[in-house]
Amino acid sequence: MDIHEHQAKSILAEFGVPVPKGHLAFSPEQAAHAARMLGGGRVVVKAQIHSGGRGAAGGVKLCTSEAEVRSYAATLLGKTLVTKQTGAGGKLIERLWIEEATDIAQEIYLGFVLDRKSERIMIVASGHGGMEIEDLAEKDPGSLVRMIIDPAAGLVEFQARDLAFRLGLKGKQIGQFVTTLRACYRAYRDLDAMMVEINPLAVTGAGDLVALDAKMSFDTNALYRRPQVAALRDPGQEDPRESSAHDNGLAYVGLEGDIGCIINGAGLAMATMDMIHLAGGAPANFLDIGGGASPERVVTAFRTVLTDPNVGVILVNIFAGINRCDWIARGVVQAYQEVGLTLPVIVRLSGTNVEEGREIIRTSGLPLMSADTLAEAAKLAVRSRPSPIAAQ
């Protein structure tokens, strides 16, 4: 789960990261008021959306007067910002962060990520941070410093100092960097984060370190024990398809294709998506309905898949080990009737009570197509897609 920059800054500040003063604004008037409260000097107006790359997309602006803050806030609020990371749909700007401006002497990149290979938290850093960091990472990956943290020892001071030296920091910056690094590490570890990123961590004209941007993302599976973090969720920034699935406890990831998938088990879901591609189609989603899927859950899964207007056909693929095919089949029939489906539905059942399940599908009197194998189901789904002409 992602959070906003201002939320990440507030969390990191509590752990000891130096951040500039700022205020939240939901209207141009509030933005102007925030600029006044910051002393009326230069401020930065920052669009709060769940995405990086805002600077390059026009979502971050240095303003020198209150009037400028007000007019820029009016331009941004309610607008959809498309960045390199949002996809073509962009993200709606509903709030702004108004922050005192900092003069920047150097921009450092600092990231904490989970290194799956070593199963440890890894720090990635560069002395040349800022908006071009992705290009740098691509062209000159060797210029990024990487450091893996031993969970038993934690982030020890000499490691932090070593990193400070490798980034070319000097004097008082070293102590400030050690404090910042350890604060980020503790925030990451104590809050079940998946990612903490400060880019840029600026060296100011006066030679101090300050976090000008902050990004945090959290492990969704740990949110149950981090209610303060869970409360920071902003559904307005999420894919609406995924929000509704999340609220219903389904594992769902929205994709670009038109074949809606309802599958039990993450592995089978991945295999099904591969088979769809192999048959020349594209899945509209990943959806794992889980092991003990009741007919009600199947109905919910259908409703979730149908929140995506691109879906033109639905493929249900169930291997019933824990589950029973007859139960799933009843769920499909119930869903078809309750949801008032008009789309073609392909059902492939396998496993426990498969004969009973197929019988229910066959005798339902509904236009459900049955497939015996996964390959057959994928081919049928691709063939049953409404043609572009018919869809108009």
List residues binding ligand GDP (CB under 6 A). Answer: 44, 46, 52-55, 60, 62, 101-102, 104, 130-131, 199-200, 212-213
Nearest Cα residue to 91 out of 215, 239, 237, 233: 237
- Tell me how far apart the alpha carbons of residues 239 and 254 are, in angstroms, rounded to a whole number: 8
Question: What, of Mn ion, ligand GDP, none, does residue 254 touch, CB below 5 to 8 Å by kind?
Answer: none
**H/E segment holding residue 194:** strand 193-204
Active-site choice (99, 107, 109, 188): 109
Residue 87: DSSP 8-state = -
Q: Distance between CA 81 and CA 90 in Å, rounded?
A: 5
Q: Tell me the closest approach of the beta carbon of residue 325 to ligand GDP, in angstroms.
A: 49
Q: Which is nearer to Mn ion, 213 or 326 (CB)?
A: 213
CB 92 within 8 A of CB 78: yes
Q: Which residue from 187, 229, 188 is spatially nearest to 15, judged by alpha carbons?
A: 187
- Residue 199 Cβ, how far from Mn ion at the closest point, in Å? 4
- The residue number whose beta carbon is nearest to Mn ion equals 213
Rg of the Cα atoms in the chain: 25
Helix and strand counts by DSSP (H, E) for the chain: 14, 18
The yes or no reply on residue 159 touching Mn ion (CB under 5 A) is no
Tell whether residue 213 is a contact of Mn ion (CB under 5 A): yes
Q: Give whichever of 213 and 288 is closer to Mn ion, judged by the CB atom.
A: 213
Report the nearest approach of ligand GDP to the CB of residue 270 (Å).
Answer: 32
Tell me the C-alpha distance between 212 and 380, whole Å: 53
Counting residues that bind Mn ion (by CB under 5 A) gives: 2
- Rank residues 180 and 353 by Cβ distance to ligand GDP and give the closer one: 180
Q: What size, in residues, is the chain?
A: 392
Taking the mean position of all CA atoms in its chain, how far away is CA 242? Answer: 10
Given ligand GDP, Mn ion, none, residue 60, with its beta carbon under 5 to 8 Å by kind, binds ligand GDP
Minimum distance from residue 213 beta carbon to Mn ion (Å): 3
| Residues in CB range of 136: below 8 A, 6 or more apart | 126, 128, 143, 144
Q: Which does 198 bind (CB under 5 to 8 A by kind): Mn ion, ligand GDP, none?
A: none
Alpha-carbon span 133 to 127, nearest angstrom: 10
Cβ 41 to ligand GDP shortest distance, Å: 11
Cα-based distances in Å from 340 to 195, 262, 294, 303, 333: 42, 17, 19, 10, 11
Site residues for Mn ion, window 187-206 (CB under 5 A)? 199
Taking a C-beta distance cutoff of 8 angstroms, is the pair 26, 6 a contact?
A: no
Active site annotation includes 355:
no
- Single out the catalytic residue among 5, 197, 252, 336: 197
Q: Least Å distance between CB 74 and ligand GDP?
A: 20
Binds 48, which of Mn ion, ligand GDP, none (CB < 5 to 8 A, cut-off by type)? none
Q: Is 51 in the site for Mn ion (CB under 5 A)?
A: no
**Residue 175 binds: one of ligand GDP, Mn ion, none (C-beta under 5 to 8 A by kind):** none
Residue of 82, 150, 141, 83 whose CA lies nearest to 109: 141
| Contact partner, 86, from ligand GDP, Mn ion, none, Cβ < 5-8 Å per class | none
109 as an active site residue: the answer is yes
Lookup result for tokens 């390959």: 375
Q: Which is nearer to Mn ion, 199 or 307 (CB)?
A: 199
In the bound state with ligand GDP, the residue whose beta carbon lies nearer, of 43 and 269, is 43
Residues that bind Mn ion (CB under 5 A): 199, 213
Q: Which residues are catalytic?
A: 109, 197
